[in-house]
Structure 1
Amino acid sequence: MPRNTVSPLYATAELQAYEHRTNHAFSDAAVSAHSAAEIALSEGDADSWWKMTFLQAENLLDAGDFAACAAIAASLVGGHAATNAPHVQAQAYILLAMARQGEGALEEAADAARAAVALVADENEIETNVKARQALIAALADSGRLEEAWTESLGLADAIETEVDDQLAGKGYWVIGNVAFLYNKVEEGLHYHELAAATLSPARNLDIWAKFNKASAAMRLAADVADADTLRCIERAELATDIIGGSSNDYLLMKLNRAHWNFLAGEAQAAIDLLDQIRADPDKPSPQILGEACLLLGRAHLKIGNRDAARDHLLHAAEHFEAAGAQQRAAQARDLLSTEG
């Protein structure tokens, strides 16, 4: 079949994949994209096979199935792409970096993101370049390499000062703000997250809006900023996710935010109740999420005088962070453990 001809069978599967994605039914979208890719392969259409395989991986990422996404993304960067265009290969590396980060494999995430940055360093592909930098910064920040992450963030800030899409700029401000919070630059963090909130549009992409507000709330809470703006972030994320749905990972992170809010509001037992639900979740939260939950559990149990329970949870927090490659967070858990000894 000529490569410029699309069969009705392929067109139907492709349309179903995009319709499911539009409706935020990401698992169903991944299944339809896989069907479309198989049809394209059988018809000898390598370009459509790559496009649909990439779409399958994107949907698996959004569904929170990080391991499956990583496996497909790794195959796409392993020499099976229909084109050797650098920006196309970079897109696959970015997806791999995000999946590895979701799995908690932060060093591998940073390596994949660096590969993406290198591929587009000399390319006139501003969107791919910004996305690659975002992926690298996120992986570096999560692994505690904050000086590197901040240096990269300043470079990203310069890049998005040029004329770029509002949504893309908003995502850039979002990740820069995250690093600022982690680097204890709270005022800068608030500034960049305010820029992100002003730039991202809930009407244009409610899913991104939900994810941003969820992440911004988490960063504010980690910096002990428990003000009305933080509560609005929590409520916006919850409302948007109620409307569009979300992955199990989304709901876990919102529950973590609520628990953190309760803790800072002096309601330690309410926080413990929510955090115990996260630890018992059948969807097996990532090591990073488990680490955060256990760290907060340790602090909450200390607050109500349960020192033995606090010690156990802080030890588990350090173990989970180490499994994720987040050495700085592991050190914080151990420092708190030794302080409260």
Structure 2
Amino acid sequence: MQQNSVSPSYVAAELQARKDRSNHDFSKAASSAKDAAEIARLDGDLASWWNMTFFQAENLLDAEDFDECAELAADLVNGPRATTACHDKARTYILLAMARQGAGLLEQAADAARAAVDLVSDESDVETNVKARQALIAALADIGRLDEAWTECLALADVISAEVDDQLVGKAYWVIGNVAFLCNKVQEGLDYHELAAATFSPARNLDIWAKFNKASAAMRLAADVADADTLRCIERAELATDVIGGSANDFLLMRLNRGHWNYLAGDFEAAIEILEGVCAEADNTSPQILGEACLLLGRAHEAIGDHPASREHLLKAAGYFEASGAQQRADQARDFLAAES
């Protein structure tokens, strides 16, 4: 949305919000953006109100306040003051998809992402098109609709061009590689993640570099690739996050990776200790992460011969996956249960 002339008090509030974000204090940035939006509303400046409310929602997403982010995004796209611009509607649907995915509402996330793709598929805004397709692919993959996700990956690969920023290209290769791993196209997954890694640099953006290494390690581990490159991904993510800090979710995912690494390395006791710590954070994490931790716990207990504990955790894993809409993963947990019987 284009901004009209704005008041000095609004400018000060917006600058404060952007300063808070640059300091990675996302909760404070969301609060400051809300203050700026209220000033704009009182000034009758709808464009500035919309932009700051969107910025508030972006920061709520990064603060992992998924429910409030989704509520704001839904209001921005469907409420009485919703924008009519395709570009802004698409951006908001992308935000809504990411918030719903974070909250474990995977079907709703896919619906929102599909709405974004439909808005920008024929537009010249390549960047928003790429981001919309990334959001759709991520949601479809989490649900387990892998054939659809791979079809969308091929469409995304066609959209990537020289017009797209290197960091965004890297993120596109990253998500395509993720789906390749999930589809058991392991070599393609490794190849796409190598392409992604070549675009990321700790000097340019340490936060993205950390998140990529954390996520790449998780996908490699899920494909039972426990080589030196996987261990390097784990260590890079841990080192970078120690430097820049991270959310509770970031640290839980890194512990999950470490637990998975220990499991694949045959150190089942160490894996159990780490994964039980992840499960103890049930009030602070998503059903999807809890499902992954319980699934690994079940397999680790089975490996040491503790069958009752194994069954308990595999049942929990199936329940958590179902709660998040990841039916394919729930079925996998039950397959492990059936194999034990």
Pick the TM interval, shorter chain: over 0.9
Q: Which amino acid aligns with 2:100?
A: R
Query: Tell me, which stretches of 5 or more residues in structure 2 are unaligned?
Result: none
How far the C-alpha of 1:25 sits from its partner, in A, is 1.2
Structure 2 CA distance, aligned partners of 1:244 and 1:39?
32
Map of 1:170 onto structure 2: 170
Map of 1:20 onto structure 2: 20
Map of 1:225 onto structure 2: 225
CA RMSD of aligned residues (A): 1.2
Map of 2:158 onto structure 1: 158
How far the C-alpha of 1:80 sits from its partner, in A, is 4.1
Map of 1:332 onto structure 2: 332
TM norm structure 1: 0.97
Q: Which amino acid aligns with 2:285?
A: P
Structure 1 CA distance, aligned partners of 2:240 and 2:11?
31
My pick for the range that moved more, 42-51 or 184-193, is: 42-51
Greater relative contact order structure (CA < 8 Å, 6+ sep)? 1
How far the C-alpha of 1:203 sits from its partner, in A, is 2.4
Structure 1 CA distance, aligned partners of 2:307 and 2:282?
27
How far the C-alpha of 1:151 sits from its partner, in A, is 0.5
Map of 1:184 onto structure 2: 184
My pick for the range that moved more, 96-105 or 197-206, is: 197-206
Query: Tell me, which stretches of 5 or more residues in structure 1 are unaligned?
Result: none
Contact 1:181 1:188 in 2 (8 A): yes
Structure 2 CA distance, aligned partners of 1:105 and 1:162?
34
Three-state SS of the structure 2 residue aligned to 1:209 is helix
Contact 2:282 2:290 in 1 (8 A): no
5 Å matches for 1:1-341?
4-81=4-81, 83-281=83-281, 283-341=283-341
TM norm structure 2: 0.97
How far the C-alpha of 1:162 sits from its partner, in A, is 4.2
How far the C-alpha of 1:301 sits from its partner, in A, is 0.5
How far the C-alpha of 1:305 sits from its partner, in A, is 0.9
Three-state SS of the structure 1 residue aligned to 2:246 is coil
Structure 2 CA distance, aligned partners of 1:207 and 1:92?
23
Q: Which runs of 4+ in 1 moved over 4 A?
A: none
1:194-228 deviations in whole A, cap 9, x for unaligned? Answer: 10000123222221111111110000000111111
Contact 1:248 1:283 in 2 (8 A): no
Q: Which amino acid aligns with 1:41?
A: R
Percent identical among aligned pairs is 73
Structure 2 CA distance, aligned partners of 1:240 and 1:24?
14
Structure 2 CA distance, aligned partners of 1:35 and 1:207?
27
How far the C-alpha of 1:339 sits from its partner, in A, is 0.4
How far the C-alpha of 1:264 sits from its partner, in A, is 1.1
